[in-house]
Amino acid sequence: MSEQTQQDYQQLNGVALAYMGDAAYEVFIRRHLIETGFTKPTKLHHKATMYVSAKAQAGLIALMEEDDFWTEEEEYYFKRGRNAKSYTHAKNTSVMTYRISTGFEAIFGYLTLSNQQDRLAEMAQWCIEQVEAGRLPNEK
């Protein structure tokens, strides 16, 4: 990643950060599921939803706040994502839940583009552990 790219993340809007973060987080989840032994596409997709849905991400944000898991800078980028003007919304979820999940993804985008790979991996692992410990409310 060029020095220019690393500096530009600070100028990106929250939706662009979330775009990058969505992809980064998804890779961690997909790798985790495959390493756990899931191989069938339908099962992988169903299982991944437990981690990557807007509702799951909003729940993870609530846990980050509760556990004081994030840094001030990560909270800043969360708010940039949450408050960004978006012209799309998720199906089957409220606008507020969608906005919170956009903030969640913006944190991952910020960590990716600022090249904080260790923190990115730590946060992804923490999220996986919260989901697997059953700390999120059921989506059904």
Catalytic residues: 22
* Distance of alpha carbon 40 from alpha carbon 135, whole angstroms: 26
Half-sphere exposure (CA, 13 Å, Cβ side) for 96? 2
Give, for 105, the enclosing helix (H) or strand (E).
helix 95-113
The shares of helix, strand and coil residues in the chain, as percent rounded to the nearest 5, are 75, 0, 25
